[in-house]
Chain A
């Protein structure tokens, strides 16, 4: 199974690549729109800043490729910042327009400790995944939460997760396996 990981000049592409390889998939670093359009599964990974990520995506035409994919009902996974920039907009970097793959916006966390770093239970499943974020989604497409924060959102063929399945040990591997099995 071909998995295209959007390589837009930032982010932890290699970690995501290694996680899919461990599951027997064929991941590739996608820097060209064509790779994103044709893969069985496309992944929008992300760490770093929303502004830089969006600029990197546009520069390579990967934004249009993802929009085409989701319009065609093809499976697409966004991870962490990859979920946040898939929304209509994010508060980060003074306000950045997102891809609009799902409705909603990313807002700065207001909590006891920000960034929110560590393993936290995701409801309703109750499994713990690893989070590292200062912003979180607000979206009607929410399907799972963690301590009241959006952990998973699904809209048409886009699935977004705030946690890092590629760094969440056995629980993360099971999650990515389920993503592959739905393709």
Chain B
């Protein structure tokens, strides 16, 4: 198995990195290329950029962001938000992204996953699943998607997804630890790599998530203190987690 991965997640809107609580009260916190490069230098294994507004205007600037990130950063990155068609996804990969992430569009039309996998290859297709109490939420977690989380994960795999990015909504931003029970169920049910998201507060939380998943997404905690990434890597190594030597 490849080494466990740490993946900072940057929310972008209209070409800028933003911070807010559940996509509300967005504040500008910087340039996506600068922040992405800083995380890359601090030892990030991959990056995720999520366009959190995904309006027509924001989509255009998101493509520009993907293109500029690819110029400055030489580690893999995923782009998500507003991708509804194979054409949308192809444009993002041609700009230099390595994977696309789809969420509500896949829930609305699951066949999108097959279409993406057959043109881009499964390895480029991440399905993001927002979940609470074993159920899937859509539209930035504002709506009940009327689906069981584990059943939807299995369906994504059967349709050709390459990775699952699973965010536990009730943990997100709490720093109380990942939903290890759900992650363990997913590990036992699907054979895709899973990126755990929601709840990182300490190195021990991240180590526990990496024990049952292949990667850990780091969102709100890094936005408060970007320098934590380098320290986290040291602490994880001290806990016996085998991370990549980035030099």
Contact = CB atoms under 8 A, between A and B. Distances in A.
A134 B246 contact: no
Interface residues of A, number: 39
Interface residues of B, number: 37
A8 interface: no
Contacts of A117: 2, 123, 162-163, 193, 214
B3 A119 contact: yes
Contacts, number: 113
A119 B45 contact: yes
A166 B191 CA distance: 27
A15 B31 CA distance: 21
Nearest to B77: A167
A112 B76 contact: no
A128 B74 contact: no
B96 A169 contact: no
Nearest to A13: B94
Contact of A112 (B4, B124, B191): B191
Interface string A108-122: 000111111111110
- What 9 A-B pairs come out closest when comparing CB atoms? A118-B2, A132-B123, A115-B123, A120-B2, A119-B244, A167-B76, A128-B244, A115-B162, A48-B121
A128 B245 CA distance: 8
A164 to B, nearest CB: 7
B45 A168 contact: no
Most buried by B among A47, A113, A131, A134: A113
A134 B123 contact: yes
A158 interface: no
Nearest to B247: A170
Given A117-B162, A120-B2, A18 B75 contact: no
Contacts of B75: 130, 167-169
Interface of B: 1-5, 40, 45, 67, 70-71, 74-76, 93-96, 98-99, 118-124, 162-163, 191-193, 214-215, 244-247
Contacts of B76: 130, 132, 164, 167
Contact of B1 (A52, A112, A130): A112
Contact of A15 (B1, B70, B99, B123): B70
Interface string A60-90: 0000000000000000000001000000000
A111 B122 CA distance: 15
Interface in A38-63: 47-49, 52
A14 B68 CA distance: 11
B49 to A, nearest CB: 15
Contact of B191 (A19, A114, A130, A170): A114
B236 to A, nearest CB: 14
24 contacts: A10-B119, A12-B98, A13-B94, A14-B70, A14-B94, A14-B96, A47-B93, A47-B123, A48-B121, A49-B119, A112-B191, A113-B1, A113-B191, A114-B192, A115-B123, A117-B163, A117-B193, A128-B3, A130-B75, A132-B123, A134-B122, A164-B76, A166-B74, A169-B74
Interface string A129-166: 01111100000000000010000000000000000101
A172 interface: yes
